[in-house]
Structures are given as C-alpha cells and as structure tokens.
Structure 1
Amino acid sequence: MNWQDISAITALDFTSGRITHLAPQSAQADWAQGFFTTLGDMAVFSASCDDAASFLHGQLSNDVERLPQGPVRRAAYCTAKGRMITSFSYWKNSDTIYLQCDANQQPAVQKRLQMFVLRSKVKLASLAESLIPLGLGGEKAEALLTTYFATLPAIGEHVHDAANGMLLRHEDAGAVARYQWLVPAEQFAAVWQTLKNALVLSNSSDWYLGDILSGVSRVVAATQELFVPQMINFELTGGVNFRKGCYPGQEIVARSQYLGKLKRRSFLASVAATGLQAGQELFNPASPEQPCGHVVNVELLNAGESLLLAEMTMADAEQGDIRVGTADGPALQFRELPYVIHDITRTPE
C-alpha cells in the first residue's frame, strides 16, 4: 500500500506521508488526552537469515550481535570518514531484525547495505508498503491500544504482535506518552476508522516535537553526510557503542571521542519563524561570512514559532546570538536539553 492508496482511504492529501494541513495542536488539552497522526516520512526494512546480526554489527555504530528481543536501539550508518549517512532505530524478534530510517533514504540505504552482503547469509527486504507508521499519544490512545495489544511497551521498548503489527514506545512529549504503531497494510482502513472515531487527528509535527524536546536527533536526506554522530549528540541518546568492533567510520568516531577533537554539538532552541527545513544553515552575526552550523531537525511549535535541534560549535552556542538562514535572520532562543552536554576538549572545573 502506497501513500496514494492511503490518501484514498483517509480522504486526506499527504505531503511525504505527513499530515500538514491542520493547525498545531500540541498545546491543546484534547490533544494531550488522545491524538493520532501519520508518520509516513519513516520507513522500515528487515534483515533476516543466519548472518543478519553479524553483518549489521559490522556496519552500524551500535551493538547488534547482542541485541535482545524487546529494546529499541539507535545506530548511525556512517561513511568511511565517520559522517552519518542515516540514523536508524532497530529492534528484533526471534528471527528478524527491523531497521527504520528516513523514508526518502530507505531505498538507497538498503541498496548500499546490500552491496556489502557479498557471501553473508543475509536477506534485506523493504516493508515500506506493508507496514504503515502511525503516531499516537495520550491516555485515550493508550486505552485504545490495549484493545489491540496485550501489553504496552515501556520507553525504548517494543511489542511485536503478528496479528496487529508492531508497537514502539517513544520518549514522552512532556507528560504525554507517545507510541508508534506499524500497522499491517491490510488492517489500515479499519484501524484508521477506529482511531478517527476515538482520537483527535493531528499534524505529524505535533508528534515529532516529542523527539526534539527529548534531544533525539535523526538524519534525513537533507542532512546526509553532514554530521559525525557526536555532533548531533547521538552517543548521548544511545546511538554509539564505543566498545563494539569496527564499522565504517569507527576510527573517526572514536578519535573524536577520545582525542578531544570534537567541538561541535547540537542544542535545543525555538525560533519565531515557520517554514524552516532540516539542513538549513545557521549564522553567527559576529562572523557572517560563513555558516556556523545547521538545523538538524525542526518542527512547527505553533502558528508563528518552530522548535529545532541546531548543530554548531560550542563556542558559537556560548556566544548566544545565532540566526537562521542569514546573519540577520530570525534569532534562536536556546532552551535546556534533558541531558548534559560538555566540551570534551576542556578540563572540568
């Protein structure tokens, strides 16, 4: 099932699988009680057969060989220079590993991985049209999900049910619990109608705000190969295992961590502007001749304001006056991340 088919079922016109035509609702009480939306800018593929775990272990920045059933982990897929091609969420059941990334990148990333399979016993298969991603949240959503799943996962866990798809628990948006439901295509029409009757339909941005508030970055097509994992705090959110074996770019990533060469990080900020895009350049007016960083991820916060994760040097962040797009563009208003970041080149006081 593609998004044209889904548009016909829902009577909605999707842009890249997202709902974008509604007003922001994340501050509304009825939204917090129970909402749903589409997450079609994410896609899943699977890796199966005898060598799937060992093959992926040698390609990704996190441990795959010792991945148990239950946890959802993050991993970077890097070039030989340590730059992130994409970011994955991944998990497994008894015989299959599932990987989720930006939908625009998924075909090319899967093809790139396939090039390195060689004689390994690994089968990669796209599930982009057989599992339809929906985002849900709030107490009413949790109550509804219990009619489909015997248990609900904790944050960072998943529930796999062959009949009803897969359910993943994401970081909360404030006090609102968030879930991603990968719905089997053949059940989508019935599930959509049930959700429509019980929950508030929301823009996709309202759901993704939870990732940004949690400081969880993801690489999309517009930011491919811009960042070493630590530049987007990826190791702080569980995306890098420094004790595992080699993978493409591992030497660069490790050197950045242990030799004190990393001076760039990502910060949480809001900006009084809309229409911003991932990959957009950031500027310090004190040095306007070249950009000091990039927008990592950005979502609409309300009718006139956006929330973003912004990558830049630690020194520029400390200076404080950072603009989007041009040196005289809208100014970032920095917010506190839910975890501590530090400059590893400095000796703690």
Structure 2
Amino acid sequence: MTALNASTPFALPTGVARLTHWGVIRLHGADAAKFIHGQLTQDFSLLGSDQARLAAFCNAKGRMQASFVGFKALDGDIFLLCSKDLLAPTLKRLSMFVMRAKVQLSDVSDIYAIWGLSGDATKTTAGTHDQAWSKADLADGTAITLYPAGPTKRQLWVSPVDAPQPEGVAMSLQTWQWGEVISGIATVTQPVFEAFVPQMLNYESVGGVNFKKGCYPGQEVVARSQFRGTLKRRTYLAHTAVELSPGQDVTVAEDTESVVGQVVQAAACPSGGYDALVVLQTSHQDAELAVAGARLTLQPLPYPLLESI
C-alpha cells in the first residue's frame, strides 16, 4: 500500500467534543447481560466492570445491522452506544427477541450525554484501563478507552446530561469524526446497513468478535468467513481530494463501471481532502482506485490484521 503522505498531520489534537451523532440504549433487568449476549458478536455474560465491548448486531445472513460499544454499569444495567441514525430501528429489532427474558430496553439518549475525549483531555485511569476497550467508573461518569487516532489517545465519556462538561479544549464534531476514521474502527450507519459481515470491517482484528461464545443471529455465516477462508473483502484506510460519504462506490480508476468496494465512513482531513474507511475486494488493494472519478490512495492501517483469515 502507498505510504502516508509526510505532510499529513496524522494525529488527532487534544480536545473535548459532544458526540451528537451517537445514541444510547439501556438494558435494565435481571436478564440484561444474558439477553444481549445472545444477540451480539461479543461476550456480555462475562463482561467485567473494567471492560467495554465492541460488538456487531447481525441479521440471519451475518450482515451487520448495527455496531455497538457496550458496557455494564455498576447497577448491572447494560449500555449500548451506537450511531444515532440506526438507534430506533435497532431498538425495535432487539425488542422483538425479548420474549420472556427479564429485561427492558429503552432509548436513553436524552438522559445520558456522550463525549469524545482526546490527548490531554482524556481521563486518568489506572492499570489496564489504558488499553483499548477498557472501562473505568469515575465520579461524574464512565470512561471507555478506544483505539487511538494516530498517536493520540481517545476515550468515550458517558455521563448524565446534567453533569458538568468534561474539562478540555473544545473540539468540533468534524475533527472528532476524522479521528474516528484514522483510528481504523468503523461504525455502521444507515447508508451501509446490512452491507458487511463483521470481518469485512476488520472487527475480528480489533476485538469486535468472540468466536468462542454461544449462538447469535448470523453466527454460522460469521464463523464460516473466519474458518473457511471465504472472506474476499477487507476495510482499508484511504485518502482522496474530494468529499466522500458512506455508501459511495469505489471503482477501478480506468473503468468506473467496475465496482470493487464501498465507502464505509469518511471525514474531512485537516490538511485537505478527505480520509475514509473503505471496504474493498482484497484482490484490488493494489489497483488504481477511484471514487466519483477522483483517485483514491490507500494508507497503512493503524493495527495488524489477524492472519487466520
């Protein structure tokens, strides 16, 4: 792949951003962890108080209907953070599976605020709380450590809406969203609803799939992609000069009718142009690529992919 342009400031600045594009689902009741364990790609039955989970909610064909960052509160409730544009339909689909389980699901996006913290604005935590998908309950809220954006540490901060705003320099939502892209961790939104199995978004390489847990919708397809070598597409980090949006087709540069991928997530790059996460056919990762006629340059991923695929 093409190396990063030396002029690109591949680092998210320090700051605090209110994440209005995310929403919160709460699961309350004795069966909260057991219920959601049976619906997602990650293990929630053994979820510790110092852990968070990246997880996918799939249909029967293994295609992702939503992605979550989930954690357990001190009172045992489970919280799922997801793209706000998919929250209502996802809540409805999950609720269809409740049946006799002792759990109530609700949208609490108006009760809890989600903030993005980066650099010196991140909360100080101890020990393993500095690792990705770790969680710490502090006085005013919950800190979840994410994959970094370049060399910059990132956290999600979840707190009641009437709690004090986290201390730090104000950051625009646009800048935070650029950090989401360069972290390499894709979030499913409406334009790519049911477009990918988790491994196409590299979820098995970044802690989003547990292959030892029990059944969940789409498990057979996800397992087959993992162990039978049937996966033909992967997520790559890319840059181009023009504005991009999720759902756009990626084509071969010399043949715009030859679609070989799709834009998953995109954001304006501070140094100009747009950075994006794109799912491509692995056979075309070294080809000349384009989106809407503009050349697309692939960049190195910020994490290694598991070699078992």
TM-score between both structures, scaled by the size of structure 1: 0.79
Q: Distance in 1 between matches of 2:307 and 2:252?
A: 19
Q: Distance in 2 between matches of 1:152 and 1:248?
A: 31
Q: Which of 20, 26, 44 is matched with 2:24 structurally?
A: 44
Q: Distance in 1 between matches of 2:43 and 2:35?
A: 11
Q: Which of 258, 279, 282 is matched with 2:227 structurally?
A: 258
- The answer on 1:76 being equivalent to 2:40 is no
**How far off its partner does 1:133 sit?**
1.3
Deviations 1:24-44 (A, max 9, x none): xx9599x83x31222111111
Q: Which of 302, 309, 313 is matched with 2:270 structurally?
A: 302
Q: 1:343 to 1:226 in 2, by over 3 A?
A: farther
Higher share in helix? 1
| RMSD of aligned residue pairs (Cα, Å) | 2.5
**How far off its partner does 1:185 sit?**
1.4
Q: 1:341 to 1:47 in 2, by over 3 A?
A: same
Contact 1:262-1:343 within 8 A present in 2 as well: no
Partner of 1:260, secondary structure, is coil
Q: 1:151 to 1:103 in 2, by over 3 A?
A: farther
Q: How does 1:1-349 map to 2 (within 5 A)?
A: 27=9, 32=13, 34-94=14-74, 95-139=76-120, 141-142=121-122, 145=123, 153-155=129-131, 156-161=133-138, 164-187=140-163, 190-191=164-165, 195=167, 199-274=168-243, 276-302=244-270, 304-319=272-287, 321-325=288-292, 329-341=293-305
Q: Distance in 1 between matches of 2:128 and 2:55?
A: 24
**How far off its partner does 1:286 sit?**
4.6
Q: Distance in 2 between matches of 1:119 and 1:209?
A: 42
Contact 1:90-1:99 within 8 A present in 2 as well: yes
Contact 1:131-1:165 within 8 A present in 2 as well: no
| Stretches of structure 1 lacking an aligned partner (at least 5 in a row) | 1-25
Partner of 2:274, secondary structure, is strand
TM-score between both structures, scaled by the size of structure 2: 0.89
Q: Distance in 1 between matches of 2:273 and 2:45?
A: 43
Corresponding residue of 2:4 = none
Partner of 2:257, secondary structure, is coil
Q: 1:93 to 1:201 in 2, by over 3 A?
A: closer
**How far off its partner does 1:288 sit?**
3.0
**How far off its partner does 1:59 sit?**
0.7
**How far off its partner does 1:225 sit?**
0.4
**How far off its partner does 1:179 sit?**
2.1
**How far off its partner does 1:150 sit?**
9.4
Corresponding residue of 1:13 = none
| Stretches of structure 2 lacking an aligned partner (at least 5 in a row) | 1-7
Q: Distance in 1 between matches of 2:229 and 2:61?
A: 17
Quick check: which has more Rg, 1 or 2? 1
Contact 2:118-2:153 within 8 A present in 1 as well: yes
AA at the equivalent of 1:124: L
Contact 1:151-1:159 within 8 A present in 2 as well: no
Q: 1:316 to 1:116 in 2, by over 3 A?
A: same
